[in-house]
Amino acid sequence: MKNQRNTVILGEDDFRQLKQFAEIFPEKPNEMTLSYELNRAIVVENDQLPADSIRLNSQVRVKELSNNKEMEFIIVMPAFADIKQKRISVLTPMGAALIGLCKGETIEWKMPAGMMKLEVLDVNQLPS
């Protein structure tokens, strides 16, 4: 099983947008933050991103491996977050954990409720 050391692949546009945001709202250094993920990301041209990679405006279905509970949501910038529409901010622990991963990968990440092990079941790109 892979862990938080999974390769993080981001397109140039997402990387630039997220990096600017991370500089405006710095986080404490920690392996489980968006800033950490950005610092270790492999940045590729937007058209070189794997089709099943999680990026901004991705509709994502994941499974929590401890209880097999499935969740579905869209990862967005904070200004567009709306839990009623299942839109979660990339700055939430869940959003930061998943950005840059691909379908089939698993990750262990610290969430407000404790450590969670998640498997990415499906990824769909929505129009921006």
pLDDT at 29: 59
Place of tokens 């709202």: 25
**Letter for the amino acid at 10?**
L
In which residue ranges of the chain is pLDDT below 50? 1-4
pLDDT at 30: 64
pLDDT at 109: 83
52, 19 Cβ separation under 8 angstroms: no
pLDDT at 27: 65
Indicate the pTM of the whole model.
0.84
Domain boundaries, the chain: 9-125
| CATH code of the domain occupying 9-125 | 3.10.50.30
pLDDT at 84: 96
Stretch (H or E) spanning 20: helix 12-24
pLDDT at 67: 94
pLDDT at 28: 65
Q: How far apart are CA 31 and CA 51, in angstroms?
A: 26
